[in-house]
Amino acid sequence: MKVLQGYPRSTEEEILKTVNRAGIAVILGPRGTGKTQLAVNAIRDRIFHTPFSALYITAADLFDSLRKDVADGGHGKTLRRFSQVGLLVIDELQESWDTKYEMTELTRLMDKRYSEMLPTILVSNLTDEGFRRRVGPSIVSRIQEGGLMLPCMWPSFRAQLVQ
Boundaries of every domain in the chain: 2-156
Residues 89-128: tens digit of each pLDDT: 999 999 877 789 999 999 999 999 999 999 999 999 999 9
Q: pTM for the full model? A: 0.89
Rounded distance, CA 153 to CA 144, Å? 20
What local confidence, expressed as pLDDT, does residue 160 receive? 59
CATH fold for the domain made of 2-156: Rossmann fold (3.40.50)
* 110 phi/psi in degrees, rounded to 5: -65, -35
Rounded distance, CA 87 to CA 119, Å? 5
Rounded distance, CA 145 to CA 138, Å? 11
Comparing 96 with 23, which gets the higher pLDDT?
A: 23
Residues 34-93: tens digit of each pLDDT: 899 899 988 988 888 778 899 999 999 999 999 998 888 876 888 999 999 999 999 999
Beta bridge partners of 57: 90
> For residue 150, which of 54, 35, 31, 22 has the smallest C-alpha distance?
35
Q: How far is CA 58 from the centre of its chain?
A: 9
Comparing 44 with 3, which gets the higher pLDDT?
A: 44
> For residue 60, which of 85, 87, 91 has the smallest C-alpha distance?
91
Give residue 159's pLDDT band: very low, low, confident or very high (50, 70, 90).
low
What local confidence, expressed as pLDDT, does residue 152 receive? 85
Rounded distance, CA 4 to CA 70, Å? 39
